[in-house]
Amino acid sequence: MSRWSEYYSNSDFCGFWAERAKDEGLQVLVIFALGFDPRSLTALRCLAKLGLRDRLGYLALRLKTSAVFAQSGSVAEGLVEDNVTALNGLHVKRVEGILDVDTHDEEGHNVVGRQALRAVANGIALSLGKYTDVVVDISGMPRGAFYPLISYLIRQSDKGKFPNLHVAVVEDPLLDSQISGIEYGKADYLQTFRKQGTEKVIWLPLIGDNEVARLEKIHNEIGSSCIEICPIFPFPASSLRHADDLLLQHAELLFDGLLVSRDNILLCDEQNPFDVYRKIIDVHEYYQGRLSGALALGEVTTVVSPLASKMLSLGMLLAAIEKTLPVCHVEAGVYRVDKQNESALREGSSGVPAEIWLTGEPYVP
């Protein structure tokens, strides 16, 4: 039986914590990325209102991007400042740290995962034991950062460093459409999710809007060892046409360029990370059983690529952690917010954070 075959999630993060905060023994640490995303502070803002006072602490990872010239990210820089001001206004006393995390090194390689891990491991590894609950708010955090981070924290929790690990995420497709990732570098495996050897690959990319370029880049990285591609589309989704739209956007690349069989398409519930988690595990086990050692292919593994919403990406992460699956990804070098969208972003997100409880009380037999 898989680890999260039974799970706890709640679409109302604030409601869930209002109830939970009644426990006087609770000590909560929020880890979040302090970037331009207006959702960066959602979880902390919600918890700060619950009267936890000195039972609430935070660790902020201040993301440093590599825009060459100011115009690449000037609007985004203004939004970062807004978030910093808002953070100061929350008056949370217990600050574990505000740590700088470079997203890329001088050569342009994505290092956000390594830097985030190092920051957390060096910054608060010893303090983790003081908390009963750690909440990672992934709403404003790049996948390259929260994948290794959550993986690390699950292990720390499993080791007994702290009991409960939660994830908070705000999905806001309207807001997402006003932010565009640009200056994509080369595809690579995420920190702590590297491919282990020379196995042949079953590739499961999670397809989001306008991802042709990133799919091509990832395919270039794994191409010569890839023997099967099973693209994952969100269905059911908030818009029932979304999967169709995505299929049309990516049809030429998937079916003509990469010769994907139409039978290989997977559909997963957009709102439930545990659906995609379960399906990836099923597909992985299916191919392991059928192909490993067969047809002189040698070993076979499943590589996943999270190119869609944070919620689905979280489900993919859980499968990757459980089955030690490599994660191949391309992170944006810079995020661009057009001037005309600036005011909309300054108004913040209308999305409601969701709670996903990954380790601790619900899983104690």
Partner 1 sequence: MPRVRNAFKIRAADPPLIDTSQFLQLYCPVLLEQFDEEKLFSDRLLVIRGSPGAGKSSFLRLFEASALVAIHTNRDQGSTEDLVQALEKLRALTSDGPKALGLYIHCDGALRDVAHVGTGDKSPFLFNALLDVRITRLFLTALRQLQDARVLSLGPGFQLSALDASDVVPELFSKRLTLDEMAERCQIIERGFSAALNSFPDDPLPAEIRGHSRLHALSYLERQVRDVPALNNLRPVVMLDDVQDLYPDQRLHLRKELVRRSPIARWLAVRTHVYGLEEVISFQAGDGERGDSQEIDLDGALAQSSLFARFAANIVDRRLRATQFLEAAKLTDFKGYFQELEENLPASSVARVLGNMADEGADLRAGRGVLAKIDNALKVVNESPLNFAQLVELQQMLIGARRLSKRAQLPLFPDMEFPQPPDAKTEEAALLFVSKALRVPYYKGFDKFVGASSANVHQLLSNLAPVVDLLVHRAELDQALRISAKEQDAILRKRADDYYNSLVSHHRHGAAILQFVRNLGRFCAAVTYRPNAPIAPGVTGFGINRAQLSSDKARLDPIKTQVLTEAVAGNILTVRTIRQGTAGAENEVFYLNRLLCVKFDLPLNYGGWQHVSLSLLDRMMEKQLSTSEMSNGSRSFHWSEEGSAE
Residues that bind partner 1 (CB under 8 A): 67-69, 71-72, 107-109, 114, 117-118, 121-122, 125, 148, 152, 155, 180-186, 188-189, 192-198, 200, 213, 216, 219, 221, 223-227, 229, 252-253, 256-259, 296, 333-334, 336
**Is 69 buried (19+), middle (13-18) or exposed (0-12) by CB count in 10 A?**
exposed
Q: Shortest gap between Cβ of 226 and partner 1 (angstroms)? A: 5
Amino acid identity for residue 202 in this structure: I
Is 325 in contact with 140 (CB distance < 8 Å)?
no
Residues 6+ apart with CB under 8 A from 23: none
Is 99 in contact with 127 (CB distance < 8 Å)?
no
Q: Shortest gap between Cβ of 221 and partner 1 (angstroms)? A: 8
Give the residue with the Cβ less far from partner 1, 252 or 347. Answer: 252
Q: Shortest gap between Cβ of 365 and partner 1 (angstroms)? A: 26
Q: What is the CA radius of gyration of the chain?
A: 20
Give the residue with the Cβ less far from partner 1, 198 or 350. Answer: 198
Give the residue with the Cβ less far from partner 1, 47 or 258. Answer: 258
Give the residue with the Cβ less far from partner 1, 53 or 186. Answer: 186
Q: Shortest gap between Cβ of 359 and partner 1 (angstroms)? A: 16
Q: Shortest gap between Cβ of 354 and partner 1 (angstroms)? A: 27
Q: Shortest gap between Cβ of 300 and partner 1 (angstroms)? A: 12
| Region for residue 298 given its phi and psi (left: phi exceeds 0; alpha: psi -120 to 50; beta: otherwise) | left
Q: How far apart are CA 44 and CA 87, in angstroms?
A: 9
Q: 267 pairs with which residues across the strands?
A: 233
Give the residue with the Cβ less far from partner 1, 219 or 284. Answer: 219
Is 308 in contact with 234 (CB distance < 8 Å)?
yes
Half-sphere exposure of 212 (CA within 13 A, CB side): 13
Q: How far apart are CA 304 and CA 282, in angstroms?
A: 13
